[in-house]
Structure 1
Amino acid sequence: MTNRVKLRYLCAISIFLLVMVMLWPFLSMMVFGRMGTRKRKVRVEMDTIAAEQKLNPTALRSAKQQTIYAVTCTYTRITQKADLTRLIQTLMHVPSLHWIVVEDSDKKTSLIKKLLENSGLKYTHLFAKNTAAIFKHIQTLNIALAWIRANVGPNEGVVYFMDDDNSYDIKLFEEMRTTKVVSVWPVGLVGGLLVEGPIECKNGRVLTWRLSWRPDRTIPIDMAGFAINTALLHQHPDVNFIDVQDGESQFLGALGLTRDKAEGKGKDCTEVYVWHTQTQKFTPGSEGEMLKLGPKYNPIIEV
């Protein structure tokens, strides 16, 4: 490189540096000014969120909210895993929930144990063998009640009894969470009716009940249609389910509850959030044909 070329490069670099020095105040203002604006926007957005949370406390899931103790009694059958898997997928979306699963069995089964361990839910796994012929969940329900009385204090939660083959809208759980004594709501597809239970409520009180079977019941409600505050269980420590056909009404009546004490939920009893769907009984009638094809077509798969 000749001296003349070197001189040209030096001149170009000198001119570039001179221009940068002259323009630096303007460039710094543009760069750091924008950064400052962004920071101010972030601060404004954070202040706005904080203000909204103060105005609307329910925007945050408070750890102090009432815990729902959901009791599910289950028994061994072909559709058991499918039913419980569907129920788990619903409960995964419900905060502050403790699932109490009671098996109708002489011992805990590996199928239920694995389901619970893999669910990610907070749970308690119990078992009891039912012997009652009329009301099949007597022993399992009462084992759950005994656990709740021993481990949950008064006013520390809400108890809800959930069949494993029902269908649930997660809105139901947020409504029952505010139960003071006993809350009730309409249930779909039960008792030979499209809707059974309270269908007209005002200011949290039930005005009209819709039912066809035994209208003289103390509180004419399906097991899926009510929740109670844990305080009731401690106020009546000896009340359990007994071997009668009308188990729900007997239990609620023994707790000292009457229709006028029921707190109407479900948008003032105008919407159904739970359906008594009941899984259809499945009979594997074609399994014999598969067995004839040998081990290749009959792998051991938990269903």
Structure 2
Amino acid sequence: GIFFFRNRHALGVSVMHHYTTFSTSLTQFLLSRYFAFCALFVFLFLVIATYNRDYVDSMPPDRDLSKEIEEYAEVCGSLTSDLEGTGPERFWIYFVTPTYVRPQQIPELIRLSHTLKLAKNVHWIVAEDSTSCSPQTAEVLRRSGMPYTHLISPMPAYFERFLRKPKGVSGRRAALQWLRHHLKDLDSQRAGILYFGDDDNTFDLKLFSELRKTMSVSMFPVGLVGDYGISSPVVKDGRVVDFLDSWADSRKFLVDMAGFAVATDFLMSRPSAIMPYLPGHEEDRFLQSLDIELEDILPLADNCTQVYVWHTKTLERDRGVIQHPKGWRTLDTNLGSLYEVARYLGLSDVNASR
């Protein structure tokens, strides 16, 4: 007892030394495992990114994927009409909108339909990424009262394995195929302008009068794009000389999908023009397949000083689940019908277990 009492300080120092050593070793062990995990994560990320980048760069723009992958397209419905008005308005604008099922789909299509109805002589081509014709989309198109073509063209299963998927490309390719067939006679009643307009974008009505000036290929600014907040051709002395865009990545034409239009007679003169399955490069490679140079591009929107289209996006949300309380009756209230509409529109499901 006297020994421990006299050496209590030395014993305390020894215990603290061993504790400190153990704590330091444990910390070093955990840090080494943490950094090893981080290094492994970075390595796997680079491998995946390189794998997908090789996939993007290894596919030439004129490659016919229809022989290598299974593509499918079907016409669900169509409504045509004669041209209205006189002068510059007597050109069809073939407005191509790829879409897919989600809670925001129907309200976005309804909103877009109201814009398109205000612009005369617009033929709306809606292409769904789906294996079956959606009655909800068909209803929106019928109610719009405007000329339309409803297509389905699901993204080929071949691309499901890739991290970066070519979203919307199958629909645009199906629309191009339908348009070529529709325009094969190239009579004055069907010639016009091709434009790709997504269902979540916002369009000024001035855009449509600008589009009708297109003789071969035209370009114009798009707002709310990339880190710059805007994407646009650079115009000098009335000619396109370069591009302003925050993302280059070896693209020749730094332009957003909503930032260009093509005259249909010019499109028909380029039978090999196609939009390839190249994520992030669809616009550039499609324009390259048209075999154009900068001097062939017509700058619109007051020499690209005005913005008439914005790349807006609706807040994404999952399909909701309504918690229907026990004891609440649906037969004598509006809830039964409301629940059916919510299911039909893809807004929500009902959980009646509470």
TM-score range, shorter chain: 0.7 to 0.9
2:152 aligned with 1:127, yes or no? yes
Equivalent position to 2:215, from 159, 173, 180: 180
Q: Is the 8 A contact 1:200 1:270 kept in 2?
A: no
Q: 1:183 to 1:291 in 2, by over 3 A?
A: farther
Percent of matched pairs sharing the same residue: 35
Task: Output the CA distance in 1 between the equivalents of 2:228 and 2:309.
Answer: 14
d(CA) in 1 for partners of 2:100 and 2:292? 30
Pairwise CA distance, 1:207: 3.7
Is residue 2:184 matched to residue 1:139? Answer: no
How many angstroms does 1:226 deviate by?
0.3
Cα pair distance change 1:256/1:109, threshold 3 Å: same
User: TM-score normalized by structure 1?
Assistant: 0.74
Aligned pairs for 1:186-201 within 5 A:
186-201=221-236
2:134 pairs, out of 109, 125, 139, with 109
Structure 2: stretches of 5+ with no match in the other structure: 1-84, 346-354
- Candidates 107, 115, 136, aligned match of 1:90: 115
SS in 2 for 1:256: coil
Report the residue type matching 1:170 in the other structure: L
**CA distance in 1: counterparts of 2:205 and 2:250, whole angstroms:** 31
* Structure 1 counterpart of 2:182: 151
1:280 aligns with 2:311: no
SS at match of 2:224: strand
Q: 2:291 aligns with which of 256, 261, 274?
A: 256
Runs of at least 4 residues of structure 1 off by over 6 A? none
Secondary structure in 1 aligned to 2:128? strand
Please tell me whether the aligned partners of residues 243 and 253 of structure 2 are also in contact (alpha carbons under 8 angstroms).
Answer: no
The Cα RMSD (Å) is 2.1
Deviation at 1:215, TM superposition (A): 6.1
Q: Which residue of 2 aligns with 1:227?
A: 261
2 CA distance for matches of 1:78 and 1:120? 23
**Alpha-carbon distance in 2 for matches of 1:103, 1:193:** 30
Separation in structure 2 between the aligned mates of residue 242 and residue 76 of structure 1, nearest angstrom? 23
- Partners of 2:257 and 2:182 in 1: how far apart? 23
Q: By how many angstroms is 1:63 displaced?
A: 8.5
Aligned twin of 1:240: 274
Q: CA deviation at 1:221?
A: 0.3
Distance in 2 between the 1:129 and 1:252 partners?
23
Q: What CA distance in whole angstroms lies between the structure 2 residues aligned with 1:148 and 1:62?
A: 23
- AA paired with 1:197? S
Q: Identify which of 251, 267, 270 aligns with 2:302.
A: 267
**Residue 201 (structure 2) pairs with residue 166 (structure 1):** yes
Quote the offset at 1:213 in angstroms: 0.8
SS at match of 1:239: coil
Alpha-carbon distance, 1:64 to partner: 7.0
Distance 2:206 2:241 in 1: 22
Deviates more, 1:223-232 or 1:128-137: 128-137
Inter-CA distance 263–107: structure 2 relative to 1 (3 Å threshold): same
Does structure 2 retain, via aligned residues, the 8 Å contact 1:142–1:240?
yes
| Largest Rg, 1 or 2 | 1
1: CA distance, partners of 2:315 / 2:300: 29
The answer on whether the counterparts of 1:201 and 1:208 sit within 8 Å (CA) in structure 2 is: no
CA offset at residue 152 of structure 1?
1.6
Cα distance change on mapping 1:162 and 1:82 into 2, 3 Å: same
CA contact (8 A) 1:218 1:258 kept: no
SS of structure 1 residue aligned to 2:98: strand
Match of 2:91 in 1: 66
- 1:98 counterpart SS class: strand
CA contact (8 A) 1:202 1:268 kept: no
What SS is found at the alignment partner of 1:190? coil
